[in-house]
């Protein structure tokens, strides 16, 4: 099965302007992904109609939604305000198939704010069917930012203490797969700290995609390799942001990690990652980060 299945957009949904994604991929690939595509379409319809019972049936018990400002809502909070999820004009939609985890990614417009955002809807295969585990949005930059975000804080030559996340994290993984995923990810963080590109490369799939919190176009594996090599050439050390919270869900040879990180400098980042296990080795296949904006100050 091809990992990436691109699909076009069809007619607008009644009264909302939401576009339904209709597959244009080969028949075999469409058949294999028909269930998750139908579930994704049904969720968009439920959101458009503020149909709480229909949406509730499609959201995983651990579902969360993170908006472009980094505010994360639980399943129940999301169901109480489905109107906040209404979007339109979905474009550059791609279905990313990671076995028991399937992502629907792209760009859509939030009519209430008149802005475009990058989105990911993460679907996981449960015994009862496909359920949405995460719905995350990240700002879309109409102009390229001067500085890329989401890679750590320069040490400035100061001694580096990377206890968290390089050695420990405030999360106790359950089961062998979760333990392997967390340990593998910590190894990646250590390789980033050391600018060790040879150690970094095996931790990522060849088609790895990283949606950065700065709104710039997503980066691929070759982009990150080039960045790490440049950091090494200039003797620049980036300190990985500390883990504030973390949770991992393993689904056979696929896993999802949801976490928040506090850089040495800057704001907290909300992150969704997908891992796949190939030939007994876990790799990161996808990552998306959103800056958690500080809440407005209370008016006295």
Q: What is residue 221's DSSP assignment?
A: H
Please report the DSSP string for 19-83 in residue order.
Answer: EEEEE-S-HHHHHHHHHHHHHHHHHHHHHHHT-HHHHHTTEEEEEEEE-TT--EEEHHHHHTTGG
On the question of a cis peptide bond just before residue 87, with omega within 30 degrees of 0, the verdict is no
Whether 271 shows a pLDDT value over 80: the answer reads yes
**187 plus 134 within the same structural domain:** no
Select from 139, 171, 199 the last residue of a domain. 139
276 in the same domain as 158: yes
Q: Is residue 148 part of a domain?
A: no
Residue 61 is assigned to a structural domain of this protein: yes
Same domain, 9 and 95: yes
Average pLDDT over residues 143-172: 85
| Chosen domain end from 110, 139, 168 | 139
161 plus 225 within the same structural domain: yes
- Structural domain contains residue 29: yes
Note whether 87 and 176 are same-domain residues.
Answer: no
User: Quick check: 212 and 149 in contact, CB under 8 A?
Assistant: yes
Q: Please give the full DSSP string across 92-151, using - where no structure is assigned.
A: EEEEEEETTEEEEEEEEEETTTTEEEEEEEEEEEETTEEEEEEEEEEE--SS--SS--SS
Contacts of 85 (CB under 8 A, 6+ apart): 47, 65, 78, 135
- pLDDT 10s digits, 111-137: 999 999 999 999 999 999 999 999 999
**Nearest 5°: phi and psi at 176?**
-65, -45
Last residue of a domain, one of 139, 173, 202: 139
| Whether 135 and 19 share a structural domain | yes
Give the predicted TM-score (pTM) of the model.
Answer: 0.88
What pLDDT score does 10 carry? 36
- Specify the pLDDT at position 266: 86
Q: Are residues 54 and 80 in the same domain?
A: yes
Q: Taking 90 as the threshold, does the pLDDT of residue 12 lie above it?
A: no
In a domain, 285, yes or no: yes
93 and 182 assigned to the same domain: no
How high does pLDDT run on average in the chain?
88
pLDDT at 193 over 90: yes
CA distance 234 to 9: 45
What value does the mean pLDDT take over residues 292-299? 66
Residues 223 and 183 in one domain: yes
Residue 134 lies in a domain: yes
Whether the Cβ atoms of residue 33 and residue 97 lie closer than 8 Å to each other: yes
Query: What is the per-residue pLDDT across 80-117, written as a single tens digit (0 to 9) for each?
Result: 999 999 999 999 999 999 999 999 999 999 999 999 99
Encoded tokens for 188: 């990646």
Of 6-20, 198-212, 253-267, the poorest mean pLDDT is in 6-20
Residues 106 and 196 in one domain: no
Q: State the residue range of the domain holding 194.
A: 153-291
CATH number of domain containing 99? 3.10.450.50
pLDDT at 264: 86
Looking at the structure of the chain, the number of domains it has is: 2
Specify whether the CB–CB gap between 97 and 26 falls below 8 A: no
Work out the pLDDT band at 3, boundaries 50, 70, 90: low
Q: Is the domain of 197 the same as that of 97?
A: no
Model confidence pLDDT, tens digit, residues 41-77: 999 999 999 999 999 999 999 999 999 999 999 999 9
Decide: helix, strand or coil at residue 199: helix
State the pLDDT at residue 144.
Answer: 81
């Amino acid at each position: 099965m091809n990992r990436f299945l691109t699909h076009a957009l069809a007619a607008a949904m009644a009264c909302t302007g939401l576009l339904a994604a209709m597959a244009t991929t080969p028949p075999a690939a469409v058949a294999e992904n028909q269930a998750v595509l139908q579930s994704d379409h049904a969720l968009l319809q439920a959101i458009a109609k503020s149909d709480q019972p229909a949406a509730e049936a499609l959201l995983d018990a651990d579902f969360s939604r993170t908006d472009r400002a980094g505010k994360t809502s639980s399943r129940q909070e999301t169901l109480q305000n489905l109107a906040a999820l209404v979007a339109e004009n979905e474009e550059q939609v791609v279905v990313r198939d990671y076995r028991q985890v399937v992502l629907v990614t792209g760009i859509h417009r939030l009519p209430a704010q008149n802005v475009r955002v990058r989105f990911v809807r993460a679907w996981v295969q449960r015994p009862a069917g496909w359920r949405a585990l995460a719905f995350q949005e990240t700002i879309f930059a109409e102009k390229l930012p001067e500085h890329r975000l989401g890679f750590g804080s320069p040490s400035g030559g100061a001694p580096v203490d990377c206890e968290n996340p390089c050695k420990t994290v405030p999360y106790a993984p359950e089961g062998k797969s979760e333990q392997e995923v967390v340990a593998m990810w910590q190894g990646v963080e250590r390789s980033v700290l050391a600018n060790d590109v040879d150690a970094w490369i095996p931790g990522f799939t060849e088609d790895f995609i990283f949606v950065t919190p700065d709104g710039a176009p997503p980066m691929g594996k070759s982009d990150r390799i080039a960045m790490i090599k440049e950091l090494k050439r200039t003797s620049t050390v980036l300190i990985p942001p500390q883990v504030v919270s973390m949770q991992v869900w393993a689904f056979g040879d696929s896993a999802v990690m949801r976490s928040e990180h506090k850089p040495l400098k800057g704001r907290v980042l909300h992150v969704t990652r997908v891992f796949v296990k190939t030939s007994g080795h876990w790799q990161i296949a996808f990552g998306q980060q959103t800056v958690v904006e500080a809440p407005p100050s209370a008016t006295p």
